[in-house]
């Protein structure tokens, strides 16, 4: 078997594919076996009894837990390869670091990496299955949303080098506190040779250093401003969209020019540089390699919009830490006098829009708090009346209402089925602003005249 499959929609090579029927909260993979069999698939792993007579040419393997079987197979497969494997976890920056490391090292190693953000209990085994004898380096993401999940991922990945990116609010609702979340993520590295982490956040650093006392065999590679850091930041001077970095390694001082000045990109770059340091990539090559870096889609992606405006697409991330970094990037754009934030519910934080706004009101930096709270906050009203109520309370400046018309759509479909006549092409959903656009314009004019 060459391919593992858990999603019936992604079948491409039925002759060489093994399908794992995974039960889920909304859909059960066992329900798709007849369809896959009709499309030529013959290899199945199931966790319920299947009538073999219904699929006479199929090889059906019955197990107690099909997800566990998938994970154990992937873990066994990974152990067949003695190559450097970088395991990457954290709240923010995992995918960026993984993709940037690929850009920095693709001419040096034959790399296999997690596709997109395949970092879950299902995504990790599918990522590991891609490792082949031709590969010389693996970059694998690991993501968790609650306690108890990382041990399973560690048993599959077994990283030789670990990277812990920043720890933010993502999936906070799955952990009793931030310390527990950090310790759960550190489980990925208990058998690693080395761990790369940032030493600049005291509360995080203390947890990591205490963890290291029980895992002293792991070599610690720290990034920070304090003396003694493996990669010490001597200075970081920002100017006109660029950053001049001066770094001190264990043996040399390195000066580098980055093509950006937002904090998130700088931190992700430092993490990548620490990886180059560990892999013993000559420091005289670092600048040429950094010049190859390009931004990822939906990660602080700056685009030109209509009417001479600019649009920053950071829609991939969904937590307050990522939002703060995106707003920092927004305020670096000096070409426009007005700025607007369009914000949907950030469900992973477990906070209401009003609580999210409060998070900005509690920022320690007065100047930063003042400029962020001055932004017009726009919402996408996915939950009926939620955004409108926030506008009335003053939490949002405006919300975009997208009415649901499921009932109308069903009625049109029923009439078409009964009459045999296709319904006319119709736009069922027309987004509208609350307050109305002319009311917003009036308020802006009034505010402008009052300011004069």
pLDDT (tens digit per residue) in 324-335: 556 666 665 666
- Shared domain for 45 and 82, answered yes or no, is no
What's residue 381's pLDDT?
Answer: 45
What's residue 281's pLDDT?
Answer: 96
pLDDT band, residue 201 (cuts 50/70/90)? confident
- Shared domain for 278 and 239, answered yes or no, is yes
- Shared domain for 244 and 354, answered yes or no, is no
pLDDT band, residue 264 (cuts 50/70/90)? confident
- Shared domain for 260 and 168, answered yes or no, is yes
Mean pLDDT of 231-241: 93
Distance CA 382, CA 218 (A): 46
Task: Tell me if 295 is assigned to some domain.
Answer: no
- Shared domain for 189 and 335, answered yes or no, is no
Distance CA 426, CA 401 (A): 19
Query: What is the model's pTM?
Result: 0.70
Q: Do the bridges between strand 43-46 and strand 17-20 make them parallel or antiparallel, or are there none, so unpaired?
A: parallel
- Reading phi first (left if > 0) and then psi (alpha if -120 to 50, else beta), residue 448 is in alpha
- Shared domain for 248 and 117, answered yes or no, is yes
Mean pLDDT of 393-414: 62
Instruction: List Cα–Cα distances, 26 to 23, 29, 446, in angstroms.
Output: 8, 10, 50
Mean pLDDT of 116-123: 88
Distance CA 452, CA 219 (A): 61
| CATH code for the domain of 13 | 3.40.1390.10
Domain total of the chain: 3
Question: Would you say residue 162 has pLDDT above 80?
Answer: yes
Question: Would you say residue 243 has pLDDT above 90?
Answer: yes
C-alpha of 51 from chain center = 41
Question: Would you say residue 397 has pLDDT above 90?
Answer: no
Question: Would you say residue 108 has pLDDT above 80?
Answer: yes
Task: Tell me if 241 is assigned to some domain.
Answer: yes
pLDDT (tens digit per residue) in 287-303: 999 999 987 655 556 66
Question: Would you say residue 233 has pLDDT above 50?
Answer: yes
Q: Which of 30 and 358 is assigned the larger pLDDT?
A: 30
pLDDT band, residue 92 (cuts 50/70/90)? confident
- Shared domain for 86 and 191, answered yes or no, is yes
Question: Would you say residue 173 has pLDDT above 80?
Answer: no
| CATH code for the domain of 200 | 3.40.1190.10
Task: Tell me if 199 is assigned to some domain.
Answer: yes
Task: Tell me if 430 is assigned to some domain.
Answer: yes
First-to-final CA distance of the chain: 73
- Shared domain for 266 and 344, answered yes or no, is no
Burial bucket for residue 307 (CB in 10 Å: 0-12, 13-18, 19+): exposed
Name beta bridge partners: 197: 222
% residues pLDDT > 90 (the chain): 54
pLDDT band, residue 383 (cuts 50/70/90)? very low
SS3 169: coil
Q: Which of 12 and 435 is assigned the larger pLDDT?
A: 12
Cis check: omega of the bond before 170, within 30 degrees of 0: no
Task: Tell me if 296 is assigned to some domain.
Answer: no
Task: Tell me if 19 is assigned to some domain.
Answer: yes
What's residue 401's pLDDT?
Answer: 61
What's residue 447's pLDDT?
Answer: 74
Token output for 132 = 């082949």
- Shared domain for 128 and 255, answered yes or no, is yes
Task: Tell me if 91 is assigned to some domain.
Answer: yes
Task: Tell me if 317 is assigned to some domain.
Answer: yes
- Shared domain for 242 and 371, answered yes or no, is no
Question: By the 8 A CB rule, do 273 and 247 touch?
Answer: yes
Last residue of a domain, one of 31, 49, 64: 64
- Shared domain for 285 and 370, answered yes or no, is no
Q: How many CA atoms lie within 13 A of 42 on its CB side?
A: 8
Question: What is the extent of the structural domain holding 264?
Answer: 70-290
- Shared domain for 14 and 132, answered yes or no, is no
Distance CA 262, CA 329 (A): 5
Last residue of a domain, one of 290, 313, 343: 290
Q: Which of 135 and 407 is assigned the larger pLDDT?
A: 135
Last residue of a domain, one of 290, 309, 343: 290
Name beta bridge partners: 44: 19, 60
pLDDT band, residue 110 (cuts 50/70/90)? very high
Question: By the 8 A CB rule, do 382 and 402 touch?
Answer: yes
pLDDT (tens digit per residue) in 299-358: 556 666 776 677 777 665 555 555 655 666 666 566 666 766 666 555 555 555 555 556
């Amino acid at each position: 078997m060459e391919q593992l499959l858990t999603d019936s929609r992604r079948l491409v090579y039925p002759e060489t594919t093994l399908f794992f029927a995974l039960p889920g909260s909304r859909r059960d993979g066992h329900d798709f076996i007849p369809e896959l069999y009709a499309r030529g698939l013959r290899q199945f792993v199931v966790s319920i009894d299947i009538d073999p007579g219904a699929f006479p040419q199929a090889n059906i393997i019955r197990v107690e837990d099909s997800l566990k079987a998938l994970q154990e197979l992937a873990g066994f497969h990974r152990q067949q390869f003695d190559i450097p494997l970088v395991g990457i976890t954290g709240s923010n920056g995992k995918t960026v670091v993984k993709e940037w490391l690929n850009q920095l090292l693709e001419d040096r190693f034959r790399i296999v990496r997690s596709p997109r953000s395949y970092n879950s209990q299902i995504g990790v085994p599918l990522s590991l299955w891609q490792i082949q004898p031709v590969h010389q380096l693996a970059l694998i993401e690991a993501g968790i949303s609650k306690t108890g999940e990382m041990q399973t991922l560690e048993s599959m990945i077994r990283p030789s080098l670990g990277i812990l990116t920043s720890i933010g609010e993502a999936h906070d609702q799955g952990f009793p506190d931030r310390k527990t979340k950090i310790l759960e993520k550190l489980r990925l590295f208990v058998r690693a040779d080395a761990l790369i982490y940032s030493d600049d956040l005291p509360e995080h650093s203390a947890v990591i250093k205490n963890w290291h006392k029980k895992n002293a065999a792991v070599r610690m590679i720290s990034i920070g401003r304090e003396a003694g850091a493996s990669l010490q930041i001597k200075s970081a001077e920002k100017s006109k969209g660029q950053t001049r970095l001066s770094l001190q390694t264990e043996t040399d001082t390195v000066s580098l020019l980055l093509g950006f000045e937002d904090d998130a990109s700088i931190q992700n770059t430092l993490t990548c540089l620490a990886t180059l340091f560990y892999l013993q990539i000559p420091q005289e090559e670092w600048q040429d390699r950094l010049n190859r870096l390009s931004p990822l889609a939906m990660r602080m992606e700056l685009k030109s919009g209509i009417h001479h405006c600019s649009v920053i697409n950071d829609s991939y991330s969904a937590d307050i830490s990522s939002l703060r970094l995106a707003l920092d990037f927004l305020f670096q754009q000096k070409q426009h006098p007005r700025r607007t934030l369009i914000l949907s519910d950030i469900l992973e934080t477990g906070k209401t829009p009003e609580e999210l706004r409060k998070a900005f009101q509690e920022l320690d930096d007065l100047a930063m708090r003042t400029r962020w709270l001055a932004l017009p906050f726009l919402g996408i009203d996915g939950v009926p009346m939620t955004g409108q109520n926030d506008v009335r309370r003053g939490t949002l400046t405006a919300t975009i209402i997208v009415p649901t018309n499921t009932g109308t759509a069903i009625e049109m479909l029923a009439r078409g089925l009964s009459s045999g006549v296709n319904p006319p092409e119709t736009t069922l959903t027309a987004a509208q602003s609350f307050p109305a656009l002319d009311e917003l314009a009036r308020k802006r004019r009034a505010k402008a005249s009052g300011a004069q």
